[in-house]
Amino acid sequence: MKLNDQEQAILAGDDGPVPQWALQHQIAVGDFFGATDFVPVTQAHIMADTESLGQAGVMWLEKMAATREGQRTVRIPTITDPRGTDFNKSGVLGQSDWMLELEQRAIDAFVKLGVSMTDTCINYQTIQAPTRGEHVAFGDTGVVIYSNAVCGARSNFEGGPSALSAGLTGRTPRYGFHLDAQRQATTRIRADWTPQTLNDWGALGGVIGKLAGNYWSVPVVVGLEGAPGSDALKHFGAAMASFGSIALFHLVGITPEAQRIEDVGGDKLPVAHRIGEAEVKALQAHYAVSDEVDVVVFSAPQLSLYELRQLAALCDGRNFQRPLLAITSPQVKPDCDRMGFTSQIEKAGGHVMSGMCFYQSYAREMAEAKGWKRLATNSAKLVNILGGYGYVPMLASMERCVEAAATGKLS
């Protein structure tokens, strides 16, 4: 890879061993993907839950942090994805002391490296959304697809070490979705039905993700009516990324790079698939295998203030027979408290948690500790993931999920 003077200085160790390691890592990644040089980035977002890191990963972070004394830490604003727990609610989750101890060690190491512990997967709704054409280094798949598609920013899926490296060096290899050519549409899809609820938007995203099928595929979608809001696009993109590893989509007349279909080359593509209500409902029906419910979870992505407002209204006057977990970001939680939404939800027997994500919080161990198996949610992303953790996940509207928490059954 071609290195400028600053990059050569980092590689030579002028800024210390930690940035030096970071650039060495990035050169290896760039060589693998055929990048010829680096592109400066303005923000980095790190996925590094301790369930994935394990003891070895946390010890590696601690070693990195220990060598930083007197050396440069992150160069650009660098933030974190959800953590593995809400320390104030660990008893509700049935988490063990060793999980919390490992989590705290990871947090301490990140802080020493200069990373801001935002603990969110909805930074585009709460911290600072990237702007069109802004090059960033983001890790969470839901964050990347929203930032690429809805904001028009430019990022690849950055693994934890790569995102941390970008924070330390202020750059990332120039390949993939940083390039104009990679952002052109590769498959054209017609939607003959427009969802109204978040679970339907998520299911539509899941159907498209399965059809598109690989990371380098860029679906362009025509036929949607109206302009979906941020929460709808959040569920749509998160599910598409989960079901298909998709990092970028275009909605003609809606997303910024596809005001016209010819802007992204979609006019040169035949319609590869038509999707109607039947296909969306079929995906949801695949996750409706039980009437009984053990737990209701709203997570993945974290809830916005508007989602929590809607949920609080549905909880009013309820008395839950099953646990209901509503998971949001540390930025939204104080507003949720201040506006009375938290008290409404918790008065009914629910729990409002912040800074974590359900499936990144030792979901299998939680199920064993709490006796949870049959789980209802309105997140298509979450149902796609949780089957691998031994759950029987069910996808339904927010209204039906709240009713299930009250009755123990998904009607």
pLDDT-derived band of residue 257, with 50, 70 and 90 as boundaries? Answer: very high
pLDDT-wise least confident of 65-74, 138-147, 399-408 = 65-74
SS3 219: strand
Alpha helices in 245-397 (DSSP H): 277-286, 305-315, 333-338, 341-347, 363-370, 380-386
Over residues 175-186, the mean pLDDT reads 98
List, for residues 36-51, the tens digit of each pLDDT value: 999 999 999 999 899 9
pLDDT at 172: 98
Instruction: Quote the mean pLDDT of the chain.
Output: 96
List, for residues 1-39, the tens digit of each pLDDT value: 999 999 999 999 999 999 999 999 999 999 999 999 999
- Pick from 184, 192, 329, 337: which is nearest to 266 by CA? 184
For residue 130 the two structure tokens come to: 């990237």
Q: Would you state the torsion angle of the CA atoms of residues 307, 152, 29, 40, taken in this order, to the nearest 10 degrees?
A: -110
Residue partners of 91: CB distance under 8 A and separation at least 6: none
The reported pTM is 0.96
**CA 142 to CA 140: how far, in whole Å?**
6
Using the predicted structure, report yes or no on whether residue 118 has a pLDDT greater than 60: yes
Using the predicted structure, report yes or no on whether residue 70 has a pLDDT greater than 70: no
283-292: burial string, b at 16+ Cβ within 10 Å, e else: bbeebeebee
pLDDT at 290: 79
- Pick from 33, 106, 115, 45: which is nearest to 74 by CA? 115
Over residues 56-63, the mean pLDDT reads 95
Q: What angle do CA 52, 288, 221 make, to 5 degrees?
A: 75
Contact 356, 85 (CB under 8 A): yes
Using the predicted structure, report yes or no on whether residue 274 has a pLDDT greater than 90: yes
**CA 353 to CA 84: how far, in whole Å?**
12
List, for residues 187-218, the tens digit of each pLDDT value: 999 999 999 999 999 999 999 999 998 999 99
Domains of the chain, each with CATH number or no CATH: 5-178 (3.30.499.10), 184-284 (no CATH), 287-407 (3.30.499.10)
- Pick from 395, 371, 408: which is nearest to 287 by CA? 395
List, for residues 145-179, the tens digit of each pLDDT value: 999 999 999 999 999 999 999 999 999 999 999 99
